[in-house]
Amino acid sequence: MAPDQAEYPPELSRLPPGRHGLPRDFVVHNQRERLIAGLAEAVAEKGYGGTTIADITRHAAVSRRTFYEHFDGKDECFVAAFDTVSTQLRERVDESFKAEDDWAHAARAGIAAMLGFLAGEPNLARLAMVEALVAGPVVVERYDAAVQTFIPYFAAGREGRPKKVLKRLSDSTEEALVGGMVSLVSRRIVSGQTDELESLLPDLTEFVLAPYVGNDEAAKIAREN
* pLDDT (tens digit per residue) in 185-221: 999 999 999 999 999 999 999 999 999 999 999 999 9
pLDDT tens-digit map of 158-193: 998 989 888 889 999 999 999 999 999 999 999 999
Answer whether 46's CB lies under 8 Å from 4's CB. Answer: no
pLDDT for res 2:
38
pLDDT for res 209:
96
pLDDT for res 165:
87
Domains, the chain, with CATH or none: 3-74 (1.10.10.60), 76-222 (1.10.357)
pLDDT tens-digit map of 81-117: 999 899 989 999 999 999 999 999 999 999 999 999 9
